[in-house]
Amino acid sequence: MKPRLVRSRAATAGVCLIALAGAAACGPSGAGGQGEDGSVRDTAAAAGASDVPKVKAAGALTSEQLGAAALATGDVKNFAAEPLEGAAPTGSSRTVKAACMPFVSVLNGTPEPAPSATVYRRLVDATEDGQSDQTVVTEVLGSHPSGAPDVLARLRTAIGACADGFQTKGGDLEPSVFTAVKELPAPKAGDEAVAYELTGVAQGGAVPMVFQVVRSGTTVVTYCAVDVTGDDTPRIPAELAVAQAAKLKS
């Protein structure tokens, strides 16, 4: 049987959103202004600047440069890339289990240390349009002037410390429960990568979420997929991370 990623495009609601109260998303955190392309703009970038290099620059990339470097339709065979649409979660979830905050920060869309610019995309397998188990992966590109390796290091440490799960709480939302965390084989892409699975609980059933986090220089790219209606472990095609890392280095 085909590994299921997300059983419905609508279920992602524009972000990698798990159907658990209090689980934000690996998507916008609400900090900063959201651009028309689904990105949170770099406040240091000059508005309307037309002479900004479109992909590569010395040091960390601006949101415009991240947008140009993000996967586009046709970069990976059969995959279409779409900006995220609609309102974004606030990303206010927290956990009293401090060792697990790196996971919550990724869910909130604000990995530690926080990026200076962020761009969001939804990647879909266009050959599966109309299918209930269409491949849908949310991609988050973050620019880190400093501390990019720390994002992955903190996640690796958290995997060992949070194997038995954790709970989150955000604002007025009910607590969200994650019963397990396990490391997965990481894609062979970028300068380094880590992958893991969070098992959430919704209406008494298991809701698996899979994450891949890949660093290419000062850019950290997070991919996530969730099965919101069943207990199949999602699978993120490795060619997405490989193609994105190659594009960032071009």
Provide the token pair at 98.
């401090």
The list of the chain residues with pLDDT below 70 reads: 1-58, 85-91, 171-175, 228-231
Alpha carbon dihedral 146, 191, 89, 198, in 10-degree steps, equals: -130
CB atoms within 10 A of CB 101: 20
Nearest-angstrom CA–CA distance, 104 and 63: 23
DSSP letter, residue 94:
B
Residue with tokens 């610019």: 117
Model pLDDT, residue 46: 28
Q: Which of 126, 161, 148 is nearest to 222 (CA)?
A: 148
Model pLDDT, residue 172: 54
For the chain, domains (ranges, CATH) are 9-27+59-249 (3.40.1000.70)
Model pLDDT, residue 174: 60
Model pLDDT, residue 6: 40
Nearest-angstrom CA–CA distance, 246 and 61: 15
